């Protein structure tokens, strides 16, 4: 691991590295502006920025985030404008490699015993075969979850 002082000396001594670090700082600044202009849930998944002409590209892990980013484009463009950055459009770039290995777990809902009894009673009283089957499947599913 390179210590901070050694890293600074390394960068200061190399023109190309110095230029790359400056460019990286600028792109990270743009990313912070984008993140500040969107909802916190979306801000967490915005991973990087790049330019394509006057279009700012924002890396996101999936199509849902890309859709939300497109919806937030006016707010992002306004925030960039206030910061003195000229961008004509925002475009999401879906980067599958950015997807987290541990996706969020869905909620595990469990039906209470009184609810199961009520659905069982309803199933016994219903005449419609499709509804009877649906209620049976629902009860069987929640019986398995309990065990």
Q: What is the mean pLDDT for each group of 10 consecutive residues in the chain (147 residues)?
A: 60 78 92 96 93 95 94 97 96 81 62 87 88 88 69
The predicted structure's pLDDT at residue 10:
65
92 and 127 in one domain? no
pTM of the model: 0.60
69 and 9 in one domain? yes
Q: Count how many domains the chain has.
A: 2
Query: Residue 124 is part of which domain span?
Result: 113-146
The predicted structure's pLDDT at residue 98:
65
Complete DSSP assignment for 101-140:
SSPPPPP-----HHHHHHHHHHHHH---HHHHHHHHHHHH
């Amino acid at each position: 691991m390179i210590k901070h002082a050694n890293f600074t000396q390394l960068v200061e001594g190399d023109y190309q590295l110095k230029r790359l670090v400056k460019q990286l700082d600028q792109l990270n600044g743009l990313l912070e502006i984008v993140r500040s202009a969107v909802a916190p849930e979306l801000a967490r998944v915005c991973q990087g920025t790049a330019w394509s002409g006057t279009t700012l590209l924002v890396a996101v892990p999936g199509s849902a985030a890309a859709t939300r980013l497109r919806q937030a484009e006016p707010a992002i463009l306004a925030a960039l404008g206030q910061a003195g950055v000229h961008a004509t459009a925002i475009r999401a770039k879906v980067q599958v490699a950015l997807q987290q290995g541990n996706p969020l777990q869905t909620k595990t809902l469990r039906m209470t015993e009184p609810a199961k009894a009520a659905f069982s009673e309803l199933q016994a009283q219903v005449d419609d075969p499709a509804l009877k089957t649906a209620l049976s499947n629902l009860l069987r599913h929640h019986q398995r979850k309990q065990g």
